[in-house]
A and B are shown apart, each in its own frame.
Chain A
């Protein structure tokens, strides 16, 4: 059951399947450790700022809601 990252509930861990969007965007995410196959935990949603906080390889990252829509994930 695949869906986009922005629909994941806080506290849930998922596996990244595919990154869409532009090449530069994909490269940047991958270089920060968000590679397909990586497990990602949704830490929290900051709806006021329109951003999500993720935990990847022990580090905290944030992406915008719109950008999280480009990330396809599946349950672990």
Chain B
């Protein structure tokens, strides 16, 4: 039996084409050209790898499902995410088999790309080859012989340009041809070993390849045996590799080693030998003594001084844009939702239903949308850096630094973005290939001092640390405190990275072997498309979680809602309206009643009950139950701490970090024994807590979106909260031991 043969019609489903290729071949552009703008983003089971599915219309109107396979240099795999490539291309369980494979090849790097092509052809899947980047050949002084490639490889080969759209009609008809007659794209393995010993190795392992993988096709069983021999070893992280197959591979390798042979090397050399022998037929190089454009650019951009300065400048622009330039738009979105909230309140009245819709639902949706400007901006820069090839250079320049803390060079951009906001930074971890690198970055980024912590620090520092105190006689304490908080959180983030990377997320030391792609002019539609899909998936997926959390927090802070509680305040209001004639005076008095009502409500709330109940646990940090409410309320977002404290003290939830009333009130607050509730030591403890605790439902929602599981967001929340608690405990108790007040 063979594969793909008219199973489509029999099953009554759409035909399926998997699109695969090396990284940086413009595969995404080809995918977009073929499928248009709409693609569904899901994920591959068991791993945090996005699975994009689009619809392709053939010339005769037939619809074909197109599935994106993660970019890879080879089908060999060590980890579960690398394993996706072979599973998606061959349809190994749990994934469905495609009816054909579209291989996208970078024409300017033909030889290396052909290695993957040989592997895929060996698996007996019907293949169409798309020679992409054909427009760049001339600039590289190369001429390709498409007909020779088609003849030697035995599969349809089409020249396309993702950039200009050339060749896509031919590509569609080649796909249609292979879907109709799979044998056209299934010539059988190109390279077969002549060595009887290697043959017997392959045959021996092939016997243990499960039938669900090869469906009775012997050639495919041998191809999968070669895959197993290159992939399985004592320390791989593969899933679903049957134990007999594993045992067969290990024993064959052991025998080979005893005879001084290396099976991996023999197979790889065999394939490259086939390619090398034919390369002169495929590629004609026109000699040119000139340095390529890429080399000339790299001379500058990788220069130890000029290159590094430009790099710092580029990173400065990215950071500045997130930190400052996004601000006006975020403010505007905030304003729109504040108006909506007020409108909802006045339309639905001041009962609990109206309050829930306005302050729970509408506010929650507002929280989601406020992130969009930063997400769009960051992905604009990321798209630009990826598309031009600069991202690979960033990873290089930062590799030594980032590796020392257990992170990938590419983690640098998410890390500095974390200084603005963890949410876009977490979404940006997608630029890393390995799941482990992404996870580690996601677990560390929320420790960076994001902009939402600043108002909290500003309030606490302004309330409790005097500008008159100077260190060394000239450095005012408040400024120093702010700097200290930045340094503190960065150091903790680096330590956390080093610790988590050596314990929970310990990885086999995977060598950095990366491609330096040539510089290319960015393809704007692709950049825009990435900005769009990222934002859209954030709003729909993380957005849901954020809105649900927002509603839950509303119940926590506003319930139990008793209409009786409102009665005395209602009476007071009626009286004010009746007795005070001066409109201005009346407004002020009414607002004061409103603030007292807010404080009274909060005091009745679940949050207050919980705050009082856990006060014994908070006391060692120097927190009373009112601060406890503020800390818990800040789970919505850290800056909400200020409004919550404003409400707690009857100053109003509209208080901001500059509110002198709130500062004065905090300074005046007394404990039951008459001592001040807020000392500089308490302030320090609060700031340390805010630096380390994961008080941000949106961060957790973003991690949930990226990892597709609750395990990691819950772990993130738990570990940061424990670290924050311990650190605040040490600061407060240590300070008291040292005699600080």
Taking Cβ atoms with an 8 Å cutoff, the residues of A that contact B are: 21, 23-33, 35-36, 43-44, 46-51, 53, 57-64, 67
Contact residues in B for A58 (Cβ distance below 8 Å): 108-112
Contact residues in B for A21 (Cβ distance below 8 Å): 511
Shortest CB distance B176–A (Å): 32
Closest 10 A/B residue pairs (Cβ): A50-B400, A60-B516, A31-B74, A49-B396, A30-B268, A49-B399, A49-B397, A57-B111, A67-B511, A59-B109
Task: Determine the residue in chain B with the shortest Cβ distance to A56.
Answer: B112
Cα(A69)–Cα(B508), bound, Å: 19
Q: Is the CB of A59 within 8 A of B515?
A: yes
Task: Determine the residue in chain B with the shortest Cβ distance to A28.
Answer: B513
| Residue from B76, B235, B295, B399 within 8 A of A27 (CB atoms) | B76
Q: Which of B77-92 contact A (CB under 8 A)?
A: 78
Contact residues in A for B78 (Cβ distance below 8 Å): 24
Contact residues in A for B516 (Cβ distance below 8 Å): 53, 60-62
Contact residues in A for B319 (Cβ distance below 8 Å): none
1/0 per residue, CB under 8 A from A, across B295-307: the answer is 1001000101000
Cα(A64)–Cα(B451), bound, Å: 35
Cα(A28)–Cα(B236), bound, Å: 13
Cα(A13)–Cα(B508), bound, Å: 31
Q: Is the CB of B513 within 8 A of A33?
A: no
Shortest CB distance B593–A (Å): 63
Chain A binding surface, main DSSP class: mixed
User: Does B726 interact with chain A (Cβ within 8 Å)?
Assistant: no
Cα(A61)–Cα(B400), bound, Å: 17
Cα(A53)–Cα(B552), bound, Å: 53
Contact residues in B for A27 (Cβ distance below 8 Å): 76, 230, 264, 268
User: Does B115 interact with chain A (Cβ within 8 Å)?
Assistant: yes
Known contacts A47-B304, A50-B400, A57-B112, A35 near B513 by CB under 8 Å: no
1/0 per residue, CB under 8 A from A, across B492-517: the answer is 00000000000000001011111111
Contact residues in A for B108 (Cβ distance below 8 Å): 58
| Residue from A49, A59, A62 within 8 A of B398 (CB atoms) | A49
Contact residues in B for A59 (Cβ distance below 8 Å): 109, 111-112, 515
Task: Determine the residue in chain B with the shortest Cβ distance to A47.
Answer: B304
Q: Which of B201-226 contact A (CB under 8 A)?
A: none
Shortest CB distance B582–A (Å): 70
Contact residues in B for A35 (Cβ distance below 8 Å): 265, 268-269, 272
Contact residues in A for B510 (Cβ distance below 8 Å): 24
Task: Determine the residue in chain A with the shortest Cβ distance to B311.
Answer: A48
Cα(A30)–Cα(B514), bound, Å: 13
Contact residues in A for B401 (Cβ distance below 8 Å): 49
Sample (8) of A-B pairs whose CB atoms are under 8 Å apart: A26-B265, A31-B115, A31-B268, A35-B269, A49-B397, A51-B396, A63-B513, A67-B511
Q: Is the CB of A31 within 8 A of B76?
A: yes
Q: Which of B87-137 contact A (CB under 8 A)?
A: 108-112, 115
